[in-house]
Structure 1
Amino acid sequence: MTSPIEAATPVNGYTTKRIGLLILPQFSMMALAGASEPLRAANRLSGKTLYEWTLLTESGGPVSSSSGIEIQTVPIDQAPEVDRVFVLASLDIEHQKPPKMLRFLQRAASRGVTVGALSTGTFILARAGLLEGKRCTLHWESIGQFAEEFPTIEVTKELYVNHGNRWTCAGGTAAIDLMLAQIALDFGNPLAASIAEQFLHARIRAPEEHQRMSIQWRFGIHDRRLTAAIAAMEDNLENIVGIEEIADRCNLSHRQLERLWHQHFGMTPKKFYLELRLNEARRLLRESTQPIASIAYSCGFVSASHLGAAYRRVWGCTPGEERRKFDDAHS
């Protein structure tokens, strides 16, 4: 008996799509599941082998995710022929420039293979020279770092981007949306919609949707003037905007903004802005190996000592102590 999915989905005479998933150490298990599970579900629901996928690393063998879970992989010099290849990365991306992987990607692209990346894997595509003249995206936390390293490449805050046979994605659950979009292109919308329902994924999100939860939800506020002010602060963590200018952008006087801020947050806008910058510094100290001076500049401080003084007042330790404590706890 033909299943409703098979009847609704034109997969007769199909050709199996072969996918290579290039894994870097400290990759995200969420992104891996988001990339591979829709392919598995497509095969199950259609009753056909629509997709095959291979997990690849430079040398093969086990590789650990950011959560410490190990998976087994195939070395790239034993990789089967693939129609598409995606790079999966997450933490510790600053120093990842694997030469064999870069050459593998360059050769694949030269053959017309679709090349993509999930989360911070976009750095690897760019380091391979495969994003020149392309729009791309990656996880919102790393967009500023990416823009510094590749100032000529257009980077967006969208969930995923398909530009010129280059698919890039913010990672996390956005990997599901990217793969569902590919499945819809390959085998039709009904199959993609059925997979989304299997995963309780209420809707397939459009690529241009923003990655982050809305400011209203994150801060529990509904005043549009406050959300506009916070958006201005978050968009200017490095190049600090004066509170007077922020108030003006929100059609408020400085005094009105101060009063609203005390009412909703119990502090001044200036202190709130500082805490946003210090929170970003704390994240970078814990999740990157950037020098402290570089972190200071990217968070709007004029020097490492300027950051250190503010950091100690708020967190009770220096940036260097913060980094050592976090490293010791996760070693």
Structure 2
Amino acid sequence: MRHADTTIDLPTPDKPRRFVFVLLDHFTMLCFACAIESLRLANRTAGTNLYTWKVIGEGGETITSSNGTAFALEDDLIELDRDDTVFICGGEHIQQATTKKILNWLRREARRGVTMAGLCTSAHTLAKAGLLDGKKATIHWENQDSFIEEFDEVELTKSVFVVDGNRITTAGGTASIDLMLKLIADHHGEELANVVADTLIYSSIRTDQDTQRLSIPTRIGVRHPKLSRVIQMMESNIEEPISPALLAKNVGMSTRQLERLFRRYLSRSPKRYYMELRLQKARNLLMQTDMTVINVALACGFASPSHFSKCYRSHYDTTPYRERGSHASRLSI
């Protein structure tokens, strides 16, 4: 059993690696805390400063996290050393938090060869700056639909984190720990990373091969292989929905059997479940992108805006236009 005072003898580096955390407005505290605490524990375990860090942001004064806590920044968007690693910390309302000043600063520092990382929703910020073009990346699953629509030059994955050259992205939440443990292991060995994980009481370390969302059987609370396959096909074909008859045929059952399966496990018809998936994606796009309502309708498999509006109102008790308007009002408060 390891104790809290466990240390590993490592040589003191000539120069500690420096991580520069850029906090965006409404950043997610969990992602930031998981990352910076992993570095702190690596230093404590090694008994020397393997890592240093600096917390900066636009304006250099204070920034507010998504839970309302205000943080004092150490500096404005300063010029960095080429060996620095930048971690952009995003969260809610990432489009509004991605300002022109942030984008210009990122492009300038990227031209100098600085490694850029985006935590949680910050893959949006890196992509908006053009820094993920031709790269693999990930982003929190709630933001995947809008990201795909806006940045088709980025190869988006569902991984917990992605390291593609000097571009790094995470899916949010505790994925910061997984990423930091990988970086610590790469820099100073797996033994140090494992002790840090133990100290964090983090027993299931994930790699870039792990996906961020629960499996379909876990998410829907049932374990029926054919039902899972049908739902997976639905989720992968939102823009051009597949008919219930073809879905049933693809898993080797009749349409009536498929109906009974959905009624038994999900208390709704396949058609209703499929419609709810499409409307959920539509709502994400309305909230997170500037796409026109017509384009949102087309992206979610609706042939006409009027049909889309009718279905949306029936499910959410408001129209797509009002939904977007009320969301914009909330952001301006």
TM-score (norm 1): 0.88
Q: Distance in 2 between matches of 1:283 and 1:123?
A: 15
Q: Distance in 1 between matches of 2:157 and 2:286?
A: 24
1:58 aligns with 2:36: no
State the 1:106 CA deviation: 2.7
Q: What is the identity, as a one-letter code, of the residue corresponding to 2:46? A: S
1:219 aligns with 2:237: no
Change (3 A) 1:11 1:308: farther
1:105 aligns with 2:101: no
**Which secondary structure state, in structure 2, belongs to the residue aligned with residue 18 of structure 1?**
strand
1:317 is matched with which residue? 318
**Which secondary structure state, in structure 2, belongs to the residue aligned with residue 63 of structure 1?**
strand
Change (3 A) 1:294 1:83: same
State the 1:183 CA deviation: 0.9
Deviation digits for residues 65-118 of structure 1, max 9, x if unmatched? 222222122444445536100112222233554333233323333333221111
Change (3 A) 1:138 1:227: same
State the 1:13 CA deviation: 3.6
Kept in 2: contact 1:92–1:288 (CA 8 A): no
Kept in 2: contact 1:5–1:190 (CA 8 A): no
Q: How does 1:130-279 map to 2 (within 5 A)?
A: 130-279=131-280
RMSD between superposed Cα atoms in Å: 2.5
Q: Distance in 2 between matches of 1:326 and 1:162?
A: 33
Kept in 1: contact 2:146–2:289 (CA 8 A): no
Change (3 A) 1:312 1:104: closer
Kept in 2: contact 1:57–1:73 (CA 8 A): yes
2:31 is matched with which residue? 31
Deviation digits for residues 11-31 of structure 1, max 9, x if unmatched? 434531111112221221122
1:18 is matched with which residue? 18
State the 1:269 CA deviation: 0.4
Q: What is the identity, as a one-letter code, of the residue corresponding to 1:57? A: G
**Which secondary structure state, in structure 1, belongs to the residue aligned with residue 313 of structure 2?**
helix
Greater shift in the superposed pair: 25-34 or 309-318: 309-318
Q: Report % sequence identity.
A: 37
Gaps of 5+ in 1: none
Kept in 2: contact 1:90–1:119 (CA 8 A): yes
Q: Distance in 2 between matches of 1:274 and 1:126?
A: 30
**Which secondary structure state, in structure 2, belongs to the residue aligned with residue 222 of structure 1?**
coil
**Which secondary structure state, in structure 2, belongs to the residue aligned with residue 5 of structure 1?**
coil
**Which secondary structure state, in structure 2, belongs to the residue aligned with residue 94 of structure 1?**
helix
Q: What is the identity, as a one-letter code, of the residue corresponding to 2:15? A: T
1:45 is matched with which residue? 45
Q: What is the identity, as a one-letter code, of the residue corresponding to 1:41? A: L
Q: Distance in 2 between matches of 1:28 and 1:129?
A: 23
**Which secondary structure state, in structure 2, belongs to the residue aligned with residue 120 of structure 1?**
helix
Q: What is the identity, as a one-letter code, of the residue corresponding to 2:22? A: L
Deviation digits for residues 113-135 of structure 1, max 9, x if unmatched? 22111122112222222222221
State the 1:273 CA deviation: 0.9
Q: Distance in 2 between matches of 1:244 and 1:237?
A: 16
Q: Distance in 1 between matches of 2:183 and 2:151?
A: 27
State the 1:320 CA deviation: 4.1
Change (3 A) 1:189 1:317: same
Kept in 2: contact 1:139–1:169 (CA 8 A): yes
**Count of matched residue positions in the alignment of Structure 1 and Structure 2:** 327
Deviation digits for residues 190-236 of structure 1, max 9, x if unmatched? 11111112222112201111110111111111111001111111222
